[in-house]
Amino acid sequence: MTSRTKTTGSLLPGDRNKNKHFLHPKSGTTWLSEILDAIYHDGNLEKCQRDAIYNRVPFLEMKIPGILSGVEQLEKTPSPRLVKTHLPVHLLPASFQEKDCKVIYMARNAKDVVVSYYYFYQMAKIHPDPGTLSEFLQAFMDGKVAYGSWYKHVKGWWEKRHEKRLLYLFYEDMKKDPWGEVQKILQFLDKEVADEMVARILHHTSFKEMKKNPTSNYETMPTTLMDHSLSPFMRKGMCGDWANHFTVAQNECFDRHYQQHMAGSDLCFQMEA
Ligand code: PPS
């Protein structure tokens, strides 16, 4: 996040030390975006409300006819800049490493991701109708949802977690101990921030505050793209909500599938509230 180099027209153009954050969808991208934007604006909350989050932190691979693509937005955003992406590790453009970008990855437990994703598929019109929750669970387990297999996504990035310029975080840890997790982020970014400012950032980025903040809650998106009457983008923001949606049979089926696909991995998630 310290580069002053100008961009070129290529994907992820050339400036050094940019800051990216990678997440499987519905894993806390917007939350992390808001935290990082606040950190890079020294906790100045007026500046953080200068524009909607999707303009403050452009979405690299976003391309919708009629509006600026993520790459076009990034080309217009002066460096240093924050970049949002959901790309899995194997699709990481080589320039990210070559240019020494810092990457923060946040993972969230699969069961809460699938429920959040199910509601998002209903409200975000870029997606097809997800059908019933049972059908969507099956599609998710089969990796037939946007961005493919959750398992490959979280494990792929987990394998890289020791790399110097990667910070791997968990949504559930951020819920449990936001102060501690923000300290990890600050250390990773080599930022020193007064406790008072950290407290301000945490208040500003709490679920309650973000839900009512029009620059964070996506309510400024045209309803043709996101219909909040079907489900708000800032829906519940909790850990363990899956238990309000899965039947016992669905949970057993999901657990069996999960165990097969996570076998041999030391990556563990908190699933319960
Ligand atoms: S997206 O569309 O993939 O970029 O969505 P993403 O932002 O990754 O994830 C959306 C879920 O994150 C929840 N969220 C939060 N949880 C806790 N605290 C804060 N501040 C916060 N901000 C967003 C959001 O409510 C979605 O989760 P669900 O479970 O659907 O509520």
Ligand 1 pocket: which of 20, 21, 22, 26 to mutate (most atoms within 8 A of CB): 26
Catalytic (active site) residue 86: yes
Task: Say if 1 falls within a structural domain.
Answer: no
- Residue closest via CA to ligand 1's atom 30 equals 116
Mutate to test the pocket of ligand 1, among 56, 125, 145, 234 (most ligand atoms within 8 A of CB): 234
Would you state the pLDDT for residue 163?
94
Domain containing 56: what range? 6-262
Atom of ligand 1 nearest to the CA of 25: 3
pLDDT in tens, 46-68: 999 999 999 999 999 999 888 89
Query: Is 142 in a helix, a strand, or coil?
Result: coil
CB within 8 Å of 74: residues ≥ 6 apart:
7, 12, 13, 58, 60, 81, 83
Could you tell me the CA-to-CA distances from 156 to 105, 138, 159 in Å, in that order?
Answer: 11, 21, 5
pLDDT value at residue 51: 96
CA atoms within 13 A on the CB side of 180: 9
Q: Tokens representing 238?
A: 């909790």
pLDDT at position 99: 85
In a domain, 271, yes or no: no
Look at residues 175, 62, 50 and name the one whose alpha carbon lies nearest to residue 108. Answer: 175
In a domain, 104, yes or no: yes
Q: What is the pLDDT of residues 190-228, one digit of tens each?
A: 999 999 999 999 999 999 999 999 999 999 999 999 999
* Nearest Cα residue to 217 out of 10, 33, 77: 33
- Give the per-residue pLDDT at 104: 97
Task: Write a three-state SS string for 9-25.
Answer: CCCCCCCCCCEEEEECC
Cα of 61 to ligand 1 centre, how many Å? 19
The pTM for the full model equals 0.93
What domain count does the chain have?
A: 1
Given 86, 153, 204, 228, which residue is catalytic?
A: 86
Tell me the CATH number at 97: 3.40.50.300
**Minimum CA distance residue for ligand 1 atom 18:** 207
Is residue 18 one of the residues assigned to a domain? yes
Q: Residue 273 domain-assigned?
A: no
Ligand 1 pocket at CB < 6 A: 23, 25-31, 112, 116, 119-120, 205-207, 210, 234-237, 241
pLDDT tens per residue across all 273 residues of the chain: 222 222 222 333 334 456 666 677 999 999 999 999 999 999 999 999 999 999 999 999 999 888 899 999 999 998 889 999 999 999 988 988 888 899 999 999 999 999 999 999 999 999 999 999 999 999 999 999 999 999 999 999 999 999 999 999 999 999 999 999 999 999 999 999 999 999 999 999 999 999 999 999 999 999 999 999 999 999 999 999 999 999 999 999 999 999 999 999 999 999 998
| Mutation to probe ligand 1, out of 36, 61, 62, 116 (largest number of atoms < 8 A from CB) | 116
237 located within any domain: yes
Take atom 16 of ligand 1 and give the residue whose Cα is closest.
237
pLDDT in the model for residue 22: 67
Residue 170 lies in a domain: yes
pLDDT at 79: 85
